[in-house]
Amino acid sequence: MILTNLFSGAAMLFIEPGTIGVLLAVAFGFIVLAAAFFAFVMLRKTLKIALRLVIVAVLALIALVGSASFLWFYSGDNTAKPRPTNSRSR
């Protein structure tokens, strides 16, 4: 909700919603992957490598699924469907 409100002013700049969806997907992916890298570095001395890699893999999977969902929902086709014609005569 916050991200859509953040980019709602972008429509005023004539940016297509598909472009906004791609930007949101890329930004979300980078943010989560940065968090995964940060977790990997911070857990260096406390956890074994296998557990650190599992944590990073889970965060990378979240980034992949989140980015794909942003692309799926925000970059759909924006073609306006024609209004149905009135089949009854008045």
* pLDDT score recorded for residue 47: 79
Total Cβ atoms within 10 A of residue 4: 10
- pLDDT at res. 7: 55
d(C-alpha 50, C-alpha 72), whole Å = 32
| Residue 42 domain boundaries | 28-75
Judged by DSSP in three states, 64 sits in helix
Terminal Cα distance for the chain, rounded: 44
Please indicate, yes or no, if residue 5 is contained in any of the structural domains: no
The structural domain count of the chain equals 1
Q: In this structure, is residue 44 part of a structural domain?
A: yes
Supply the pLDDT for residue 15: 65
Q: For the whole model, what pTM was predicted?
A: 0.56
Q: Does 46 reside within a domain?
A: yes
pLDDT means per 10 residues, the chain with 90 residues, are 54 64 83 88 83 88 86 68 71
CB 84 within 8 A of CB 31: no
- Dmax over Cα atoms in the chain, in whole Å? 79
